[in-house]
Amino acid sequence: MDCLFCKISRREISAEIIYEDNDTMAFLDINPRAPGHTVVIPKQHAENILELTAGAVEPLFLTVKKVTAMLKKAFEPDGFTIGINHGKASGQAVDHLHVHIFSRWRDDGGGSVHSVVDNPPKESLEEIALKLKN
């Protein structure tokens, strides 16, 4: 497979790997936006969260939790932003599901996840809820 993150997982491309188990791998982002900016991947190839098998979801997020604790211990940040870019429209650059973990400080110039998009719905919350439940 030609996937960049699959190649990193198979050690065909080098990366600064900070955690690995049978199902997941965490490595430092090559273009860090914060100290310790880490990418966590499932070793199983899945383009996005909807393609990831049910059994692979838990190990992925347990690794996100472990790596977040590692970053907290190493950098003592004020908080974290943890996110997934799902699909090209969201900014996903590598077609392999990955979770970004950013250490955050009060004065780092970043925003909350609410600052990523500004496209409020035209429908009411009730209409949206009905659409989702149907």
* Residues forming the active site: 98
40 phi, psi to nearest 5 deg: -115, 130
Confirm if 132 and 123 have CB atoms less than 8 A apart.
Answer: no
Q: Which amino acid is located at 126 in the chain?
A: E
Closest by CA position to 104, among listed 82, 78, 84: 78
